[in-house]
């Protein structure tokens, strides 16, 4: 992230979630009535304009998909896959959800399943300031929402979270959605080290990552230019085996590792074939201590 400025990538992924909440039924993946209210007025107006008529919304879906080489389809799909992992943990009794690099994630405000859960939103302070502004007046559905500021490149999660009231003795569910690709490998490893110390046995982690060598050369170049234009750099790619080894070394067992190609089965066939495999989602469980 650029020093002193908030994340713009969080705006764009929230805008895609808002778009896919407002599109016609056959394209809609989930209702997220909060997403649009978290956007800046300009982006909210754009989403409303693009979804004012079903025909315009269908055209926007195709056009944005084509110009991002299919990248835009992955965002709403990954969010649903992560929601399912969270619901599994909550159903098993987990009462702490940690959103690493929360951005404009609306889960604390839209998921009724979080009624008995404390949600820790961990992010860069400049992104959090904007989120505070946008969520003023919104009533969370989660039991409690706690903000904890971090710069993953400099700060240690193990120091930040316990100070925010996180209880390492109790199981937790962790979401690291659309963040690792913007971090150095050192920051990722340090954060995973903290998770090893903070995640009680049975805790679950849902982490997305950019697949090593994703797309073709042109796609990678487009991704890098696009990220740079909105103030980020694509810094880290990983293979499923590399990430799995990192998780296993910290006593996590990988339950699933899927991409948008797997999640796309939720969409009608003609849209599913436009989806590409760039980002993957690994869901892992912390092993019981020996």
Ligand X SMILES: C[S@@+](CC[C@H](N)C(=O)[O-])C[C@H]1O[C@@H](n2cnc3c(N)ncnc32)[C@H](O)[C@@H]1O
Instruction: Give the nearer residue to ligand X in terms of CB position, either 8 or 58.
Output: 8
Say whether residue 10 binds ligand X (CB under 6 A).
yes
CB of 192: closest distance to ligand X in angstroms?
15
Q: Tell me the site size for ligand X, rule CB under 6 A.
A: 23
User: What's the min distance (Å) between Cβ of 81 and ligand X?
Assistant: 12
CA atoms of 193 and 27, how far apart (whole Å): 39
Looking at 177, 246, 247, 280, which residue binds ligand X (CB under 6 A)?
177
Tokens describing residue 240: 């499923």
Q: How far is the CB of 179 from ligand X (least distance, A)?
A: 4
Q: How far is CA 196 from the centre of its chain?
A: 20
Please pick, from the candidates 60, 179, 207, 281, the single residue that binds ligand X as defined by CB under 6 A.
179
CB 231, min distance to ligand X, A: 10
Which CB, 61 or 131, lies closer to ligand X?
131
**Residue 167 in tokens:** 């209880």
Please select the residue that binds ligand X; options are 130, 182, 267, 278, rule is CB under 6 A. Answer: 182
In Å, how far are 27, 96, 203 from 283, measured between CA atoms?
25, 17, 11
Query: Should residue 215 be labelled a site residue for ligand X when binding is judged by CB under 6 A?
Result: no
**Among residues 259, 244, 239, which one has the least CA distance to residue 192?**
244
C-alpha count within 13 angstroms, C-beta hemisphere, residue 22: 26
Query: Site map for ligand X, 130-169, x if CB under 6 A?
Result: --------------------xxxx----------------
Candidate ranges 10-18, 32-40, 66-74, 221-229; the one touching ligand X (CB under 6 A): 10-18
User: Which residues 67-86 are close enough to bind ligand X by CB under 6 A?
Assistant: none
| Segment lying near ligand X (by CB under 6 A), choices 4-12, 43-51, 87-95, 246-254 | 4-12
CB closest to ligand X, residue no: 103
Per the structure block, which two tokens stand in for 182? Answer: 């913007």
Binding to ligand X by residue 21, rule CB under 6 A?
Answer: no
The nearer residue to ligand X, 101 or 171, going by C-beta atoms, is 101
Neighbours of 283 (CB within 10 A): 21
x-or-dash pattern for ligand X, window 94-123, by CB under 6 A?
-------xxxxx-----------------x
Binding site for ligand X (CB under 6 A): 1, 7, 9-10, 13-14, 101-105, 123-124, 127, 150-153, 177-179, 182-183
């Amino acid at each position: 992230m650029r020093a002193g400025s908030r994340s713009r990538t969080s705006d764009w992924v929230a805008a895609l979630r808002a778009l896919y909440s407002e599109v016609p039924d056959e394209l809609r993946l989930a209702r997220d009535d909060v997403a649009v209210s978290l956007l800046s007025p300009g982006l909210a107006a754009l989403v409303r304009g693009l979804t004012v008529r079903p025909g315009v919304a269908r055209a926007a879906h195709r056009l944005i998909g084509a110009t991002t080489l299919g990248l835009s389809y992955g965002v709403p799909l990954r969010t649903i896959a992560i929601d399912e992992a969270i619901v599994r943990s909550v159903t098993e009794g987990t009462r702490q959800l940690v959103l690493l690099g929360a951005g404009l994630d609306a889960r604390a405000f839209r998921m009724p399943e979080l009624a008995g859960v404390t949600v820790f939103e961990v992010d860069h302070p400049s992104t959090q300031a904007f989120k505070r502004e946008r969520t003023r007046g919104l009533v969370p559905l989660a039991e409690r929402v706690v903000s904890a500021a971090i710069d993953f490149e400099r700060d240690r999660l193990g120091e930040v979270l316990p100070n925010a009231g996180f209880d390492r003795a109790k199981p937790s569910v962790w979401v690291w959605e659309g963040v690792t690709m913007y971090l150095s490998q050192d920051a990722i490893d340090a954060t995973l080290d903290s998770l090893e110390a903070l995640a009680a046995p049975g805790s679950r982690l849902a982490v997305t990552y950019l697949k090593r060598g994703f797309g073709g050369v042109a796609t990678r170049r487009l991704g890098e230019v696009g990220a740079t234009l909105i103030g980020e750099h694509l810094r880290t790619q990983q293979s499923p085996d590399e990430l799995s080894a990192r998780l296993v070394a910290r006593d996590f067992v990988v339950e699933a590792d899927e991409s948008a190609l797997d999640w796309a089965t939720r969409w009608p066939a003609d849209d599913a074939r436009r989806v590409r495999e760039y980002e993957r989602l690994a869901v892992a469980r912390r092993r019981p201590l020996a």
